Structure 1
């Protein structure tokens, strides 16, 4: 059973100001958002970047490093898509390292983007200008302590763990799966099956976060 985490209640406005405090003009900082499936990572990350503006922040999601379906089929992992070993963790770590050392006179770096409607990643689709001081990255496994995930974490300045109430998170997952074509029954089975197994692993990493927060 998933355990409710001891989280600090906060608001989006407060998170925006905390993110703004990380910005150092002329330097590069990276902020990571993590949490279990359905925690609201992508939504909050988009809201932070929108509030800060394109001259200040850019969003580079971890989901762009989903392994392609044909690769997952070859590895026998397609039915576990979303688990930590269904991502190119080494590629993600290398990109984060590159972004952390990108300077104002360096060229634009292009990151991949995951397209949920086709369940595949599209390469070189997110431009990261060298003049943008804050990169926001979000994903499930930023705090995992195996494979290349710790290397990526070593280049991230701060990681915030989002911990909504479990029933809220489950409801979001079911709605998401239904929105992308699953029946109500299939959506519930996926949310409480594969997603929940991943959630237990992810929540076990929360103690490594700089902050554990619950939006109100």
Structure 2
């Protein structure tokens, strides 16, 4: 039994539409090299699994057929937010602050860099003594609290010594001091953060550069 012509035309149209979507998605991925459609997590995983450059996150959703975008375009994060999250996820997974530079200038880029500090110093808690900001202190997991105003006093522990120099460089806003850090991971962290300070003056009032948040208390 032959279908009515209007219904037949609708079915043929739907088949052609699906075929076009499949064809165009293939063009996007295989010819243009764009990431497949998906969430920021999916795109980040695709980039890493295929050894692609993280900047492909910024092509996430590009040239996609918008259907059925009108149904959900006003729901959830924006495309720009999803693209930035994709970069952020890759940086955290790869533990590489250089990837965070793709998010600069912007607070999100600084947050990306700062969130990697626990990765470069995973077993030591270090920072300035609140009661005396000139004193640097560190404690290894299960170890004693060590304090000193001189970084060389931590030289028997490469991680703590490197952390002290990094904190000092951050306090003095000195990219040059980062070069003296023996631990490669902490040195890279320091260099990327101080480079951001030098390159983006508009970010210097950021919390991530030590800007104090005003208190509500008088």
Asked if TM exceeds 0.5, the reply is no
Q: What is the TM-score when the length of structure 2 is the normalising length?
A: 0.26
Relative contact order, higher structure (CA 8 A, sep 6+): 1
